[in-house]
A = this chain, B = another copy of it.
Amino acid sequence: MIVSNPVNIKYLTGIDAEGTLLITRKENVFITDGRYIESVNRVLTIDDGIIVYDIRSIREEDFENFFLFCSAVGFEENYVTYAKYKEYIYKYKIENMQETENLIEQQRTIKDEEEIGKIRQACKITDDCFKHLTEFIKIGMTEKEVAAEIEYFFKTHGAEEVSFPPIVASGANSSMPHAIPTNKKIETGDTIIIDMGCKYEGYCSDMTRTIFMDYVPEEAKTVYDLVLNNQLSTLKEYVDGGNTKIISKLVENNFEFNRYMLIHALGHGVGLDIHETPVISSRTAQTLKENMVITDEPGIYLPGKFGVRIEDTVLITKNGAVTLTNSEKNYVILKSTAQKSK
Q: Which residues of A contact B (CB under 8 A)?
A: 16-18, 33-36, 38-39, 75, 77-83, 85-86, 99, 144-145, 147-148, 151-152, 155-156, 160-161, 165, 175-180, 261, 263-264, 301, 303-304
Across-interface contacts of A34 in B (CB, < 8 A): 177, 261, 263-264
A175 to B41, CA, bound (A): 14
What's the nearest-Cβ distance from chain B to residue A206, in Å?
16
**CB nearest neighbor in B for A97:** B82
Across-interface contacts of A85 in B (CB, < 8 A): 82
Across-interface contacts of A38 in B (CB, < 8 A): 175-176, 301, 303-304
Across-interface contacts of A176 in B (CB, < 8 A): 35-36, 38-39
Task: Identify 4 new A-B residue pairs, CB closer than 8 A, beyond the known A36-B176, A77-B81, A79-B81.
Answer: A33-B264, A35-B177, A82-B82, A145-B155
What's the nearest-Cβ distance from chain B to residue A153, in Å?
9
Sort A-B residue pairs by CB-CB distance and give the 7 closest, nearest first. Answer: A34-B263, A148-B155, A77-B83, A35-B177, A152-B152, A77-B82, A82-B85
Q: Are B156 and A145 in contact, CB atoms less than 8 angstroms apart?
A: yes
Across-interface contacts of A82 in B (CB, < 8 A): 75, 77-78, 80-82, 85, 99
Q: Are A81 and B83 in contact, CB atoms less than 8 angstroms apart?
A: no
Q: Are B148 and A39 in contact, CB atoms less than 8 angstroms apart?
A: no
Q: Are A178 and B79 in contact, CB atoms less than 8 angstroms apart?
A: no
User: Per DSSP, are chain A's interface residues mostly helix, strand or loop, or mixed?
Assistant: loop
Q: Which of B16, B35, B151 contacts A152 (CB 8 A)?
A: B151
Across-interface contacts of A16 in B (CB, < 8 A): 180
**CB nearest neighbor in B for A34:** B263
What's the nearest-Cβ distance from chain B to residue A158, in Å?
9
A45 to B257, CA, bound (A): 35
Q: Which of B83, B160, B178 contacts A78 (CB 8 A)?
A: B83
Across-interface contacts of A177 in B (CB, < 8 A): 34-35
**CB nearest neighbor in B for A177:** B35
Across-interface contacts of A77 in B (CB, < 8 A): 81-83, 86
Q: Are A39 and B81 in contact, CB atoms less than 8 angstroms apart?
A: no
Do A155 and B144 form a contact, CB below 8 Å, given A39-B178, A83-B78?
Answer: yes
Across-interface contacts of A36 in B (CB, < 8 A): 176, 178
Across-interface contacts of A79 in B (CB, < 8 A): 81
Across-interface contacts of A160 in B (CB, < 8 A): 144, 180
**CB nearest neighbor in B for A35:** B177
**CB nearest neighbor in B for A54:** B263
Q: Which of B18, B86, B145, B264 contacts A35 (CB 8 A)?
A: B264
A177 to B17, CA, bound (A): 11
Across-interface contacts of A156 in B (CB, < 8 A): 145, 148
What's the nearest-Cβ distance from chain B to residue A141, in Å?
11
**CB nearest neighbor in B for A162:** B151
Q: Are A80 and B81 in contact, CB atoms less than 8 angstroms apart?
A: yes
Across-interface contacts of A18 in B (CB, < 8 A): 178
A151 to B297, CA, bound (A): 28
Q: Which of B33, B86, B99, B180 contacts A83 (CB 8 A)?
A: B99
Across-interface contacts of A86 in B (CB, < 8 A): 77
Across-interface contacts of A303 in B (CB, < 8 A): 38
